[in-house]
Amino acid sequence: MDGIDNEIKDYLNDLAKEYSFSIMAMEVMPDHIHILVDCKPQFFPSDMIKILKGNTARWLFMKHPELKKQLWGGHLWNPSYCIVTASDRSYDQVKQYIDSQKTR
């Protein structure tokens, strides 16, 4: 992904600090991102998704305007997403799954 994946990771980590949540694991794939987040229970998952998707799209299109022309409809993100909660028992499995995505 020509280094853009590392730029995205850095940007998402900055967003996490700004909004007071922690990214425990993350892997940027060609057409989606896996993220394991630790946040306060008062943080609505849908709000977090809006923050992550909206800010990342705006930032990425400003930094790499050529991307908008390459994407279908000029949109970075599909409106859908998947959220799964992880307990203390399943945390390690979820983290391992995310960490292994680049090797697939």
CATH code where residue 53 lies: 3.30.70.1290
Cβ atoms of 34 and 94 closer than 8 Å: no
Portion of the chain with pLDDT greater than 70, in percent: 96
Give pLDDT tens digits for 50-75: 999 999 999 999 998 888 888 877 78
**What pLDDT shows up at residue 103?**
66
Q: How many domains does the chain have?
A: 1
pTM for this prediction:
0.84
Residue 104, CA distances (Å) to 47, 64, 99 in order: 30, 27, 10
Nearest CA to 28 out of 11, 40, 44, 43 is that of 11
Active site residues: 97
- Bridge partners (DSSP) of residue 25 are 36
Print the domain residue range for 51. Answer: 4-103
